[in-house]
């Protein structure tokens, strides 16, 4: 077995290396931004340009480390204390994971788990808003949050800031799940865990004597967590379980084959790697020769088009709860989010007629699609931007309106579309915060080229 490389982040001089890297990135960005007058997007400030480059460089440097070191680094994010926010760690009882696994294996007998290197407890954290409520509704809002990280990175720690922001705006609470990660625990263990958490919430989550039902729950996730959110909805439907009230996909990763045009066209306007896969230094987690032959840690290449791995390839996306999908116009994953919204809402017409959906099978899914101009992947973490503030507000408003309702028709922003057949609300949010309704979304050429009309 090859000797495991020691991470630069754990060396004595690691802090100095990181500091020099930041200085180098600052000087490079200043030169390009001010002297060469070049930037990834025309309206970006120097601050946005700099942080974008810092994130991009961080990801590139992390890819040179072992998987284990990268996982440790991301999970060591320091917890913060937020006003009117309470945090409580918990372990989801093992019985729920076992129930989910049995139900999943019965519903999907063709999917055999590859292996499990560690049967660790299913840990999570409640993040609860404790401040004054703005509305009169007493219906609790419970979010099951599934973090992003390409299915092999991320944790409660890495996403506590983002989820706290969402919880504060929605005035509810969120269960943030540390689902099992690849390559140690690849597909389908993440879905086992998300369904286990959902079953736990239905059975055991009550607050002050108020019983929690599926209609109090919103499932939400970013990037890989957004893909896992949609896969969880498909799994719940297959298992015959109650759907949640609604779901939100933040820059969802819905196509692990990278078949859409934006993945190849937006490489200069996103911080994600533009290659189909990310390689890491040799380590025990990927010592088997099979890892060198596959595109992703999460699933073998033979399963990349399975709907639970890449929900975009699900033939019937109808009958799901109301969805909010937010994508950045400059991100690699933009088009798969748009295509998913079109397919789910019954508005997908491809140049390849074989891909068109039979809308007679079930009621189409109501979808609110938002495209944010000049924004990269999961731009919500760039919280200083107007776009991030609007997107976070819309996530909260969407969940509140679907779960709690609103007093008058004039105050309704999202919920009106939820009762309409073939409903797709399409909005473009410009970098300055102005919002326009998209009159037409057209798919041309090879079936994956998106054209917008205002």
52 & 129 share domain:
no
Same domain, 139 and 62: no
How many domains does the chain fold into?
2
| Residues in a beta bridge with 66 | 281
Per-residue tens of pLDDT for the chain, all 454 residues: 344 444 544 444 456 777 888 999 999 999 999 999 999 999 999 999 999 999 999 888 877 789 898 898 888 866 677 899 999 999 999 999 999 999 999 999 999 887 766 678 999 999 999 999 887 778 899 999 999 999 999 999 999 999 999 999 999 999 999 999 999 999 999 999 999 999 999 987 655 466 789 999 999 999 999 999 999 999 999 999 999 999 999 999 999 999 999 998 999 999 998 775 667 877 888 887 777 788 999 999 999 999 999 999 999 999 999 999 999 999 999 999 999 999 999 887 643 434 444 444 567 899 999 999 999 999 999 999 999 999 999 999 999 999 998 654 555 666 666 555 558 899 999 999 999 999 887 776 665 667 776 5
Residues 65 and 106 placed together within one structural domain of the fold: no
Q: 35 and 183, same structural domain? A: no
- Whether 231 maps to a domain, the answer reads yes
Contacts 24+ apart (CB under 8 A), 3-6: 4/66, 4/68, 4/282, 4/283, 4/284, 5/65, 5/66, 5/281, 5/282, 5/283
Same domain, 268 and 164: yes
Look up the pTM and report it: 0.91
Quick one: 110 and 218 in the same domain?
A: yes
Residue 119 — φ and ψ, nearest 5°? -95, 70
Judgement on whether residues 66 and 88 belong to the same structural domain of the protein: no
In angstroms, the CA 416 to CA 400 distance is: 13
- Say which CATH number the domain at 324 has: 3.40.50.1820
Range of the domain at 53: 1-73
Residues 41 and 89 in one domain: no
Catalytic residues: 223, 331, 377
Answer yes or no: is 308 within a domain: yes
């Amino acid at each position: 077995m090859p000797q495991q490389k020691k991470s630069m982040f754990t060396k004595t001089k690691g802090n100095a290396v990181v500091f020099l890297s930041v200085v180098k990135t600052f000087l490079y960005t200043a030169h390009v931004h001010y002297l060469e007058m070049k930037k990834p997007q025309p309206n970006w400030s120097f601050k946005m340009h700099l942080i974008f480059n810092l994130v991009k460089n961080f990801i590139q440097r992390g890819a040179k480390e072992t998987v284990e070191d990268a996982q440790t680094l991301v999970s060591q994010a320091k917890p913060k204390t937020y006003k009117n926010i309470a945090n409580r760690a918990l372990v989801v009882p093992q019985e729920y994971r076992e129930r989910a696994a049995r139900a999943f294996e019965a519903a999907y007998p063709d999917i055999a788990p590859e292996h499990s290197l560690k049967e660790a407890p299913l840990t999570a954290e409640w993040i609860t808003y404790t401040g004054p409520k703005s509305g009169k509704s007493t219906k609790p809002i419970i979010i099951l949050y599934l973090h992003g990280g390409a299915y092999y990175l991320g944790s409660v720690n890495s996403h506590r800031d983002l989820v706290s922001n969402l919880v504060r705006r929605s005035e509810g609470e969120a269960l943030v799940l540390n689902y099992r990660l690849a390559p140690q625990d690849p597909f389908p263990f993440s879905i086992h865990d998300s369904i286990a958490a959902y079953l736990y919430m239905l059975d055991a989550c009550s607050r002050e004597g108020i019983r929690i039902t599926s209609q109090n729950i919103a499932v939400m996730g970013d990037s890989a967590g957004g893909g896992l959110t949609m896969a969880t909805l498909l799994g719940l439907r297959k298992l015959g379980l109650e759907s949640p009230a609604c779901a939100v996909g933040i820059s969802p990763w819905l196509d692990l084959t990278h078949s859409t045009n934006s993945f190849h066209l937006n490489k200069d306007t996103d911080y994600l790697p533009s290659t189909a896969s990310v390689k890491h230094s040799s380590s025990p987690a990927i010592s088997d020769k099979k890892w060198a032959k596959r595109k992703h840690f999460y699933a073998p290449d033979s399963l990349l088009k399975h709907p639970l791995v890449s929900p975009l390839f699900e033939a019937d996306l109808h009958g799901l709860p109301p969805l909010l999908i937010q994508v950045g116009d400059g991100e690699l994953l933009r088009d798969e989010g748009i295509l998913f919204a079109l397919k789910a809402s019954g508005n997908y017409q491809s140049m390849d007629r074989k891909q068109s959906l039979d809308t007679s099978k079930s009621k189409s899914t109501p979808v609110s699609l938002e495209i944010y101009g000049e924004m990269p992947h999961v731009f919500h973490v760039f919280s200083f931007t107007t776009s991030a503030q609007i997107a976070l507000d819309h996530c909260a408003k969407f969940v509140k309106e679907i779960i709690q309702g609103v007093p008058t028709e004039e105050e309704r922003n999202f919920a009106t579309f939820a009762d309409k057949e073939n409903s797709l609300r399409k909005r473009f949010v410009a970098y300055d915060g102005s919002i326009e309704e998209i009159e037409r979304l057209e798919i041309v050429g090879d079936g994956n080229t998106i054209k917008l009309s205002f």
